[in-house]
Amino acid sequence: MLVIIMAIMGMASAQPMHKSEHGMPGTPMMERVQEGMQEHNITPMHTPVMERVQERIQEKNQTCPLCTPIKERERIREKIHEHLMIRDKEEIKERIREIKVKQKIAKIQVDIQRAKEKCEQAKHRYEKAKEMYMKLRMHGLKDPETFRYAKQYVCFGVDYIGRWLERLMVQVQNENMGEDQKEKLMVRIQNCLMALNESKEAVNSSTTPEELEESVEKLKKTWNDIMIKIKSIVGQIAVAKLEVVISKTEDVALRIEGEIEALNATGVDVTELEELLNDCLEKLDLAREKLEEANEKFEDMLTADNPNELYVEGRHLLMEARDLIREAFADIKEIYHEIQHLRVGQLFFGNETGELLVVGSGTAEISFTGVALIIADGDVTISPAASVVTIVGFEGGVEGGVSMVSGHGKAVVRGENVTVKVEGDFMRIFVKGKGTATLSGEGIYKLKRSPHEKMEEGTFGNVTLEFGVVE
């Protein structure tokens, strides 16, 4: 029997060594040995050597990377494609948002440039007509040529004022102010344009020196009224610009307050920083009051007997508000400088730390680990209640380990696995740490996903955002 087995083994070994599908040698040889044994009615012997050989072959087949089942490879490939698709969708969405912002800015710039060019062209025509009239005025209005250029001089002057008002209208359209106020100022500018056009028609239709002089006198009265309205509008635009500066500075102050609270959580003495911040916020609040007073002065100009005095007073209030804003910003710079010295490494979670600022109305539901500052006019729910550091202004209490408050106020929250829900007509929320936020309603957000990424800005209607590293 041994001779026969050796003969069969010899026949098998004389054949070229076959390879398996994946290049693994040895499997066809074993099959031929088994076939020879069956042909000669030889019962296979399960020796330890044979068993070890078969086990090693099976191990190689299992551990070979190329032997991964096709379905498993397809599943992995589909998972990779899914991640790529999600990433690409986010990138495309962000790219579309950037393009829309750039298109809007480009349109504003085009509109402003076009209005400016029209104004310059009207100014050139006016100055040329004025030059011609000045050369001929010695002949008197009874001279036909002088009369013609006198009418041109006045009408081109009206056109120049009209183009300037249209330029002002473009500025109001693109100004960052409330829609109601914007519409109010736009209507006033349009009324000024209508009054100017009526005066221009009267000048243009005059046929005698007497009619021309009479129409010019009416135009002067119209122009005096328009000048008061223009000063009022320009003053209110200046107020709106400074209000935007205050809002942005308050957003920065809110972020700084988050940084201070984070330092406080690490045991750093932040008393001086808090005092500086309070001083900053008081200045911003006083500046806003000055702007409100200035806006009232500019608005009252339209019905007052002393509009120019009110304009001067309004301008003075504007300058006071501007100085207060500068002082508040100087405080912020000092606080930021001190924080940079006090901070040791990254606060909270190192590379996992993100930031989110939300300003608007509607609903914000945020789950996070870190610190949050909430200023709102509405309903606020905080879970767990133990994560609340301070609550000022709100009314309510704690039920079932959840803090539920409402009204107008401010809350500071800090901890792990915290959930905050804010519903109301106004909310300003800053979160530093890591988590997710679902925003619905109307407003803007500023998002810094990680310490190494740039701050991005967007508007929300219904959006979910992630900041920091979310597992």
Three-state DSSP string of the chain: CHHHHHHHHHHHHHCCCCECCCCCECHHHHHHHHHHHHHCCCCCCCCHHHHHHHHHHHHHHHHCHHHCCHHHHHHHHHHHHHHHHHHHHHHHHHHHHHHHHHHHHHHHHHHHHHHHHHHHHHHHHHHHHHHHHHHHHHHCCCCHHHHHHHHHHHHHHHHHHHHHHHHHHHHHHCCCCCHHHHHHHHHHHHHHHHHHHHHHHHHHCCCCHHHHHHHHHHHHHHHHHHHHHHHHHHHHHHHHHHHHHHHHHHHHHHHHHHHHHHHHHCCCCCHHHHHHHHHHHHHHHHHHHHHHHHHHHHHHCCCCCCHHHHHHHHHHHHHHHHHHHHHHHHHHHHHHHHHHHHCCCCCCCHHHCEEEEEEEEEEEEEEEEEEEEEEEEEEEEEECHHHEEEEECCEEEEECCEEEEEEEEEEEEEEEEEEEEEEEEEEEEEEEEEEEEEEEEEEEEEEECCCCCCCEEEEEEEEEEEECCCC
Pair 117, 177 in one domain: yes
Pair 368, 451 in one domain: yes
Is 127 a domain residue?
A: yes
Q: By the 8 A CB rule, do 295 and 236 touch?
A: yes
Say how many domains are in the chain. 3
Structure tokens at 419: 């959930």
pLDDT tens column, 300-344: 999 999 999 999 999 999 999 999 999 998 998 888 888 777 654
Pair 182, 273 in one domain: no
Please give the Cα distance from 402 to 394 (Å, whole number).
15
pLDDT value for 10? 45
Pair 374, 335 in one domain: no
Query: Which residue segment(s) compose the domain that 191 sits in?
Result: 108-205
Q: By the 8 A CB rule, do 106 and 151 touch?
A: no
Q: Which amino acid is at 58?
A: Q
CA-based torsion, 161, 163, 166, 171: positive or negative? negative
Largest alpha-carbon pair distance within the chain?
Answer: 145
Classify residue 183 by burial, with Cβ atoms within 10 Å: 0-12, 13-18, 19+: exposed
Please give the Cα distance from 220 to 245 (Å, whole number).
37
Domain final position from 307, 342, 377: 342
Pair 451, 366 in one domain: yes
Half-sphere exposure of 318 (CA within 13 A, CB side): 19
Structure tokens at 248: 């942005």
**Dihedral, CA of residue 251, residue 252, residue 257 and residue 258, to nearest 10:** 80
Is 133 a domain residue?
A: yes
Q: By the 8 A CB rule, do 246 and 288 touch?
A: yes
pLDDT value for 308? 92
Pair 377, 432 in one domain: yes
Q: Which residues are bridge partners to 465 per DSSP? A: 437
Q: By the 8 A CB rule, do 393 and 408 touch?
A: yes
pLDDT value for 349? 44
Domain final position from 317, 342, 367: 342
Pair 308, 368 in one domain: no
What CATH number corresponds to the domain at position 398? 2.60.120
Is 59 a domain residue?
A: no
Cis peptide before 144 (omega within 30 of 0): no
pLDDT value for 348? 44
Pair 363, 303 in one domain: no
Prediction pTM value:
0.62
Pair 335, 357 in one domain: no
Q: Which amino acid is at 463?
A: V
Please give the Cα distance from 320 to 287 (Å, whole number).
7
pLDDT, averaged in runs of 10, over the chain (471 residues): 42 45 46 54 51 54 51 58 50 56 65 81 88 88 90 91 89 81 88 91 91 91 91 93 89 83 77 87 92 95 92 95 93 84 51 81 92 90 91 89 91 91 90 92 88 83 82 49
Pair 323, 364 in one domain: no
Structure tokens at 255: 């972020």
Q: Which residues contact residue 133 at a Cβ distance below 8 angstroms, ignoring those fewer than 6 apart?
A: 146, 149, 150, 152, 153
Question: Token pair 């000055």 is at which residue?
Answer: 290
Is 329 a domain residue?
A: yes
Is 404 a domain residue?
A: yes
Please give the Cα distance from 31 to 187 (Å, whole number).
96
Query: What is the separation of C-alpha 121 from the centre of its chain, rounded to a whole number of angstroms?
Result: 38
Is 89 a domain residue?
A: no
Query: What is the separation of C-alpha 240 from the centre of its chain, rounded to a whole number of angstroms?
Result: 19
Half-sphere exposure of 416 (CA within 13 A, CB side): 2
Is 356 a domain residue?
A: yes
Pair 248, 155 in one domain: no
Q: Which residues contact residue 46 at a Cβ distance below 8 angstroms, ignoring those fewer than 6 apart?
A: none
Please give the Cα distance from 170 to 163 (Å, whole number).
11
Q: Which long-range contacts (CB under 8 A, 24 or more apart) does 306-313 make?
A: 307/228, 307/231, 307/232, 308/228, 308/231, 311/231, 311/232, 311/235
Pair 157, 189 in one domain: yes
pLDDT tens column, 226-270: 999 999 999 999 999 999 899 888 888 888 888 887 777 777 788
Is 83 a domain residue?
A: no
